Amino acid sequence: MREILQVHLSDWQYQNILAHYHFQDEALGALQQIGGLTERAAEPVLYYDDFPEQTGVSHRLAVIVTLGNGVDMLQDRYSESGKLSESYMVECIGMELLKEAYGQAAERIHAHTGRWISGFSFVGDAVPFPYMERIFDRLAPDAVSFNQAYMLTPKKTVVFLTELCTERKNSYCHVCADCGYLACPCRTEHTRKQPGQQDKKVKTERIKRYAGDQMS
């Protein structure tokens, strides 16, 4: 099954981005402007199908969620022109859009199956990397690929297995908190501020780390 998703961030979500990613309040206008560009660049798609590979487990699905190549291309243009702050904004906004895609994926799957996602078993964490090939064979995603190191393209893409349940769960809103795959390029950090810590300093350090990742 392949479905087109529609993701959008509201004003209160941009306020949350300010706090979560340690931007200054005056960055709100720039975030919303770049957010509009990022939303227009995104081409979010959901792929899912039954994955009956474990004895005794029913209602098991293989799922891929991606934002498409447009977000990567937008981010790369900012990085290549030396606009690392703008590139970092695309990174943060992209992560929030991916969260929105998770929520929509759960709703779409429920609409088709009458059941809800109960949790996430990510490839590279609870699911061994070689399962990636089986999942791709099953879903045949036309907009997603992976290399010999199992790195996904587009970058804002996740692959996981899930079991379905009859009651709605809220856990799909906190996927990174439940995942042990620390090397995941889509992982968000939930950094707690310590006494005396300044948002500007934290944000600067995160941009430096992000810039280093882009150069490696």
What CATH number does the domain containing 114 carry?
3.40.109.40
pLDDT of 127: 92
**Is 58 a residue whose pLDDT tops 90?**
no
Asked if the structure places residue 144 within a domain, the reply is yes
Asked if the structure places residue 198 within a domain, the reply is no
Asked if the structure places residue 215 within a domain, the reply is no
Domain that holds residue 147: 2-189
Residue 167: what residue type?
E
Q: How many domains does the chain have?
A: 1
**Is 160 a residue whose pLDDT tops 50?**
yes
Asked if the structure places residue 16 within a domain, the reply is yes
What's the whole-number mean pLDDT along residues 2-31?
95
* Cross-strand partners of 46: 3, 65
Asked if the structure places residue 163 within a domain, the reply is yes
**Is 199 a residue whose pLDDT tops 80?**
no
pLDDT of 192: 35
Asked if the structure places residue 204 within a domain, the reply is no
Asked if the structure places residue 182 within a domain, the reply is yes
Asked if the structure places residue 166 within a domain, the reply is yes
